[in-house]
Structure 1
């Protein structure tokens, strides 16, 4: 059993709390929003963002960041990407040497074009940072619908450790050293997904969407490889897989 602090109580943070608790780990969720903390404590669900996904009684909820981070084996950073830097900056003072931090948000920083793991490493240089990504809607993960993701880390030891933490009968996890490729795939796919949504709005059909997805992943791969990603990454779960689920989903 691992002690896990989930930093962020939105859809992804709440869904992963359910998954990790079901896996037998000790889970605490942190939110900066007092009303959100109270709702999760009393209602045991996020009524606004993830209704119907119930938190078990043994999942703790706190508004104290230090409390959420103290004596934790793993920290899961689940805040929206625009708040990654500010949250990581606040976390630094409470972060021990070698602390494992798993980022589960997607995107790049607008001003610097840094990936989220790069931001975390810059703000918390003592941390061992990893990434969890893939075609994974929180709405489905929270309801234990079969899902497959990838953990990326600098070392195989960290990747395999986290793989075992997150893996379950309904949540399959693979590993890769290509954190950069994973994060670029997860961020760049949103551009193509917007085009797919526009095609739907214009009344176009499956032919159009298929063209957007296949030509879109080709462009994503070319750019991602040029930026340093591994080609195979873009044709796997965190590339084409994430693109398909985003373009085709009712959740997006």
Structure 2
């Protein structure tokens, strides 16, 4: 098993390490008023998403993202551990954004659980750390996992690829890409622990949908954060050939793509 999704104990052992940076992606009022993990910096979710400012999808643009991480004192070779208070779905989007802008994949980690889960046992701080701004360099990788519509279309006729819809059942029933299997990201989450379900339970869910690590997986959704959570979990489980499409199904149809209904 990888250390892509890391347990609270993993984080506790590394609190204070110079090259491990905790990143809280909640809103500033939550970070300040409710508290945060000791030493965590705040990079709110809305600050690294944009409908029109980035290279593709909801990306904010390399310059904007670089400035955000520079202001947070993050270096290009830091280990980043992201968390939120929503089972990790917003934090996962931060990690995927960082990957798309060139941060080393092996240095991107998702806290297993969220702030509420951490708060049950771990120390909470209300003091923001002193941050020395860095010179973080972000550059969009066009060869990364974010793909265009033609890649999805080609995947539909490839027996070695499975296209995965990460939306809810009712959304899937109203219309989905032909042949796509549905995997709601929340199926992978344990509501009590607020982290991931046991690995074997997740693997069983994936086997039911014929989502196999030996196949290529192409994800899509109508929200980038849900794709991102599933992407991070699959990487954690050892899937290596992963891609995702962030265009809406409205765009899919506008470009001549067909949809199936249930």
Taking structure 2 as the reference length, the TM-score comes to 0.29
TM-score scaled by length of structure 1 = 0.30
More helix by share: 1
State the structure with bigger RCO (CA 8 A, min sep 6), 1 or 2.
2
